[in-house]
Amino acid sequence: MRLLFRPLGSSGKFFKLTSVELIVSVESLKRVIGDNVKHLREAAGWTQGQLVDQLRRSGLEISRSSIAWLETGRREPGTAELLLLAQVFDVPVHELVSTDVPEIQLTSEAVMATGALRDLITGEGEPPYSSRVVVPVAESHRARRWGQRLGLNIDDALHAELYFEAEQSGEIDVGNRLGLDPMQVTLLAYALWGMSFSDRRDADLTDVAASPSSMRMLKAHATRRREAELKAKAQEVGWLKRTRSARKRVGPRQK
């Protein structure tokens, strides 16, 4: 497994946050930290000036206006400041990036599942941590929109799994043959079978005992069969046009 980071493309353009769905499901890292700092400060009964005093006693030179900018999400703290904030509030660092929003926008180009970020900071969860998925904002939005069309509820865990599965060769090959994005292939497979295309095809051959040459033929047959099911689902949701041969004919053709 590896870190998956796909650039937005050769144009280098950023995706503009205009969708209400995206604004609800993704929050910027500096906004999350700012909201948590304000909440912790108010819970401690401190003014912004008193928080400044606490940080200065800990060795951080900072102004009240810097705290104001931080709490309103207009400034992102450095590493030392983040650690000292956690120390002053007497909380673990991960509480400063805690949020109910499923994804956190790390940069202008990338988001990360909130649960994955928490695991990365705390060291909890199942390693290797390099497998935590980071994806561009535009692709995250597109995957969720496609998932809604298929009736899929994409939570943190499924979000990470989908991006890993979409990078597999089986999904890419099927996408190339059908003219679909690998993510569309993965979403269709989960809607149909609750697993990736490659896993569904391989499951068909789990209990099969055959020679290597026969197994290759059986795998090709399983691929075609499952691909036909996936293609039909793609046509059903309008991602692929139905061919003339796939349309039902009613009665003989009139001369």
Question: For 227-240, what is each residue's pLDDT tens digit?
Answer: 999 999 999 999 99
The parts of the chain modelled with pLDDT lower than 70 are 1-26, 125-140, 155-161, 164, 242-255
Could you say which of 135, 154, 187 is where a domain stops?
135
Tell me, yes or no, whether 39 lies in a domain: yes
Q: What CA–CA distance (Å, rounded) separates 118 from 109?
A: 20
Q: Which tokens hold the place of 49?
A: 């000036």
Partner residues linked to 103 by β-bridges: 26, 113
Of 43, 137, 29, nearest to 93 (Cα)?
A: 29
What pTM was estimated for this model as a whole?
Answer: 0.53
Q: What CA–CA distance (Å, rounded) separates 19 from 129?
A: 30
pLDDT of residue 6: 32
Of 83, 33, 37, 84, nearest to 57 (Cα)?
A: 84
Domains identified in the chain, total number? 2
Of 78, 73, 74, 114, nearest to 97 (Cα)?
A: 114
pLDDT of residue 53: 96
Tell me, yes or no, whether 174 lies in a domain: yes
Alpha carbon distance, N-terminus to C-terminus of the chain: 60
pLDDT of residue 169: 78
Is 198 in the same domain as 128?
no
pLDDT of residue 128: 54
Tell me, yes or no, whether 146 lies in a domain: no
Tell me, yes or no, whether 225 lies in a domain: yes
- Quote the domain boundaries for residue 86: 20-135
Is 127 in the same domain as 181?
no
The CATH number of residue 84's host domain is 1.10.260.40
pLDDT of residue 156: 52
pLDDT digits (tens, 9 = 90+) for 55-80: 999 999 999 999 999 999 999 899 99
pLDDT of residue 157: 54
